[in-house]
Amino acid sequence: MSEKLSIDEQMVPFKGRNRLKQYLPKKPKKWGYKLMVLAGSDGIPHNIEVYTGKVVQPTHLVDIGASGNVVLRLAQPVPQHKNYKLYFDNWFTSVPLQLELARQGVHCLGTVRSTRLPGSSMVSDAELKRSGRGSFQEKTAVVGNTTLYAVKWYDNRSVTLLSDYVGAHPVTHVQRWDRGSKAIIDVPCPAVVRDYNQHMGGVDLLDSLIALYRTKIRSKKWYHRLFFHFLDMIVATCWLLYKRHCRCNNLSDAEVMRLYAFKSYIAQGLCKSGKSLEKKRGRPSGGISSDYETKKRQGPTAPIPIPDVRLDATAHWIIMSEKKGRCRVPGCKGTPKAKCRKCNAHLCFTSTTNCFLKFHTE
């Protein structure tokens, strides 16, 4: 689990009839099932909760309101007193939540609504706007052993953030386009804003990866959409773990497999690995589907199957094709008629050369 973690809402697109369906107008997919997800800043999820309406808070957790209770339930796998940091938006953030997380030894940062800062008189939006772009105000409060930092910053509009471990300083600069001068200018940016923008997007990153190649299967059963969404989430998570492993082994970006190829390899492995190609028992299906198969256009070369299929030692039989083909073993220049029925690859099989055995064992 990475040190920087974010909690956010995730939508499973669905427009059918079901009492669990929600409407979130600010999401790219506005209709669907709502999930609450705890994910690292790298997009790897660690805890999920499906929104089903009112939830009774477990007895071992403090009850601090509906939004705060969601964070406490999702944050249970986070190690306590290990300087882990949680990020969330203004629907979750409140002073009682931050105090409870601080008691557990988990730091947190989030945008906050002004109505959830009791006794705090922050400057108005109009006054910050008159002060200029990049102006901010910081206020601190000490509650027990916890120091809370509330920072209100004005960029295109004002935003207020609440944290128990970082405040406005040190102040850096970010580049923004100024319509008045028609040029890029430097705008002062508090440290709390920079930290929030840098680590809050873990759930959004996971959403974007799932949406790239989402499994689209029409069904009247409402739970199928959740099931296939979780499958897509598993594949995206595995790819993120694979990328982390590649970085640890100092592989370049060109050597890392893309998500599309990664998902295709998984599909090919599940469909062919360890399985025979024998026809199923029973009456053959009618129609002209078999005729279509014979008319499919063949490419210049058959692709080499993935290692999970090539080395599974199941249903690899030699057949003789009508035309010769280049042997698929690297370094062999033979053009045999023999080929593997399952791998659809031409391979030499003579008294002097056994590329068939080499192809399926090495």
pLDDT in tens, 202-254: 999 999 999 999 988 888 788 899 999 999 999 999 999 999 999 999 988 88
Q: What is the pLDDT of residue 6?
A: 94
**Reported confidence tier of residue 362, pLDDT bands at 50, 70, 90:** confident
User: Domain residues of the chain, as ranges?
Assistant: 4-210, 213-272, 306-361
Residue 89 and residue 161: Cα distance in Å, rounded? 9
* pLDDT on residue 292: 32
Read off the pLDDT band of 24 (50, 70, 90). confident
| Chain mean pLDDT for the chain | 87
Compute the half-sphere exposure of residue 78: CA atoms within 13 Å on the CB side of its CA: 30
| Residue of 284 and 21 predicted with greater confidence | 21
Taking the C-alpha atoms of residue 129 and residue 157, their distance in angstroms, rounded to an integer, is 8
Average confidence (pLDDT) over 4-27: 89
Peptide bond just before 170 cis, omega within 30 deg: yes
Query: Residue 289: what pLDDT?
Result: 39
Res 285: pLDDT: 54
Q: What's the confidence (pLDDT) of residue 297?
A: 44
- Residue 228 CB contacts under 8 Å (≥ 6 apart), including other chains: 215, 217
What is the mean pLDDT of the segment spanning 110-124? 88
Taking the C-alpha atoms of residue 111 and residue 160, their distance in angstroms, rounded to an integer, is 6
pLDDT given at position 278: 63
Q: So what's the pLDDT on residue 145? A: 87
Res 161: pLDDT: 93
Q: How many CB atoms lie within 10 A of CB 143?
A: 13
9-13, 59-63, 284-288, 302-306: least confidently modelled range: 284-288
Per-residue pLDDT tens digits for 251-289: 888 889 999 999 998 988 888 877 776 655 665 555 433
Instruction: Check: CB of residue 175 under 8 Å from CB of residue 127.
Output: no
Q: What is the pLDDT of residue 75?
A: 93
Please give the share of the chain, as a percent, with pLDDT higher than 70: 93
pLDDT of 47 reads 94
pLDDT at 39: 94
Average pLDDT rounded to a whole number, residues 152-181: 90
Average pLDDT rounded to a whole number, residues 355-362: 87
What's the mean pLDDT in 112-130?
Answer: 87
Q: What is the mean pLDDT of residues 140-145?
A: 89
DSSP H helix total and E strand total for the chain? 10, 14
Q: Taking the CA atoms of 42, 47, 50 and 55 in sequence, report the sign of the dihedral they define.
A: negative
Residue 125 has pLDDT above 90, yes or no: no
Q: Phi and psi (nearest 5°) for 294? A: -70, -20
